[in-house]
Amino acid sequence: MTQDEHKEGIKGMANPSRYGIERVAYWLMRLSGLGLLAYFVAHIYETSNILRGQVGWDEFLELTQTTEGHLFLAIVIAMCVFHTVNGIRVMLGHGGVGVGKPARPDYPYDPASQNYRHKIGIYSAIVLAAIAMMYGLAVMFGE
């Protein structure tokens, strides 16, 4: 933090604890986006191993067949599902869909844009991500 501008900085931006589930969704969206970007880079590196021929390809693919590899892929599945479902919610919101209508506010001023439709969207994204991750784990570690 520079005292000149007194900005909260990344620490404040990433703190999801003070402003309800909407800020948690904001934080998860950033986190999953960065995670998927990292996976995308790793995926390009992984597939580039095909240039080493079948032996090189098989060697690298074995890394994903380990316990750590399965856990990594399960997290990727969860990030992908959350980012997709929450992304659709956010895109609709960005177009002004489901954010309520302007009206004279009455105390205690519950913001209409933070309504139950968006909360359901956020919780749905989290639940679907968890289900997809568990399904992925069941497939990868399945008998």
Partner 1 sequence: MAQVSHIADEQGSTSISSSKSITLRIARYNPEHDDSSQFMEFTIPYERWTTVLEAILEVKKHFDHSVAVRYSCRQATCGSCGMIINGKPRLACFTKISELNSNVVTVEPMNNFPIIRDLAVKFERLFDTHHKIKPYLIRDDTELESNEKEFLQSPEEVEQYIQFANCIKCGLCNSACPTMATDSSFVGPQALAQAYRYVADSRDKGKDSRLKIIDESHGIWRCHFAGSCSQVCPKGVDPAMGIQFLRGYLLGFRS
Site for partner 1, rule CB under 8 A: 3-10, 12-13, 18-20, 22-23, 25-26, 29, 90, 93-97, 99-100, 102-107, 109, 111-114, 118
Nearer residue to partner 1 within complex by CB, 47 or 115: 115
The CB-of-121 to partner 1 minimum distance in angstroms stands at: 11
Q: How far is CA 119 from CA 22, 51, 84, 89, 101, in A?
A: 7, 47, 16, 10, 17
Q: 77 or 118: whose CB is closer to partner 1? A: 118
- Picking from 66, 62, 83, 60, the residue whose alpha carbon sits closest to that of residue 133 is 83
Between 67 and 101, CB nearer to partner 1? 101
Least distance to partner 1, CB of residue 134, Å: 28
Residue 20: closest CA among 111, 108, 94:
111
- Secondary element (H or E) of residue 4: none
Q: For partner 1, give the closer residue by CB, 9 or 53.
A: 9
Give the tokens for residue 5. Answer: 């501008």
Min. distance of Cβ 40 from partner 1 in angstroms?
20
CB of 60 to partner 1, least distance (A): 36
**CB-based contacts of 46: which residues, under 8 Å, 6+ apart?**
60, 61
